[in-house]
Amino acid sequence: MAEVKLLGFWASPFSDRVIWALKLKGVNYEYVEEDPHNKTQLLLQHNPVHKKVPVLIHGGKSIPESSIILEYIEETWPQNPLLPQDAYQRAMARFWIKFGEEKMATICAVFRTAGVEQEKAIQEATKLLKIIEEQGLGDKMFFGGDGIGLGDIAFGWLAYLYEVVEKVSAVKVLDADTFPQLHAWIQNLKEVPVVKENLPDHQKLVGHLKRRRETHLALLNCHN
């Protein structure tokens, strides 16, 4: 079988998604840790347009952009399907994956803001999370239905990254009382063995995001 290589970054949720998908499909791969401040020739060669991780290299062919990689993995390794068979259900899954991607920056804006701006960011995030919970997840156990699917993988950052974002930003948005279904989903997702065994180290992530938060705050103070 052609060699599979993943260029990633330990703190990147986009990287983690690809790891989960590869592991759920039982695909063997070599992982290459990239330093975003010191990009390798390999990365620049395989993602010349965006110069970002993750990049999947399969038999020498490069596939950048996590959502594109996820679909590629689904099509190339059909075992343990992560998308429904039915075209309409697939469209629904893709709709929510797109929604999550488009709104991720807004939901995480609490991280880049302070004071009144942060208050506004909390309100915006709450609104969007409510839409995701009520219309995306609904009564389902997973976005994918009874089992984990690409939707859960794409929203996975909500399950482990967001609590770190909240912690370092000193806010609480995704609380259990306001979002009971999302909270149940988070617990269920974290119990999936592939997810449980492939989460970045919590303390390390806190330290990493704390430093980035300080940078954002410094920038905000510069403009005052």
211: contact with another protein by CB under 8 A: no
* 3-state SS record for the chain: CCCEEEEECCCCHHHHHHHHHHHHCCCCCEEEECECCECCHHHHHHCCCCCCCCEEEECCEEEECHHHHHHHHHHHCCCCCCCCCCHHHHHHHHHHHHHHHHHHHHHCHHHCCCHHHHHHHHHHHHHHHHHHHHHHHCCCCECCECCCCHHHHHHCHHHHHHHHHHHHHCCCCCCCCCCHHHHHHHHHHHHCHHHHCCCCCHHHHHHHHHHHHHHHHHHHHHCC
**Which of 180, 160, 184, 162 minimizes the C-alpha distance to 171?**
162
Please pick, from the candidates 3, 44, 61, 210, the single residue that binds another protein as defined by CB under 8 A: 61
160: contact with another protein by CB under 8 A: no
Please pick, from the candidates 87, 116, 218, 222, the single residue that binds another protein as defined by CB under 8 A: 87
Give me the least distance between CB of 68 and another protein, in Å please: 5
98: contact with another protein by CB under 8 A: yes
91: contact with another protein by CB under 8 A: yes
Please pick, from the candidates 26, 35, 45, 95, the single residue that binds another protein as defined by CB under 8 A: 95
Both tokens assigned to 69 = 């990689």
Binding mask 18-57 for another protein (x = CB under 8 A): -------------------------------x--------
Stretch that binds another protein, among 14-22, 85-93, 157-165, 209-217 (CB under 8 A): 85-93
Binding mask 130-159 for another protein (x = CB under 8 A): -x---x------------------------
Give me the least distance between CB of 50 and another protein, in Å please: 9
Interacting residues toward another protein by CB under 8 A:
49, 58, 61, 63-65, 68-69, 71-72, 75-76, 87-88, 90-91, 94-95, 98-99, 131, 135
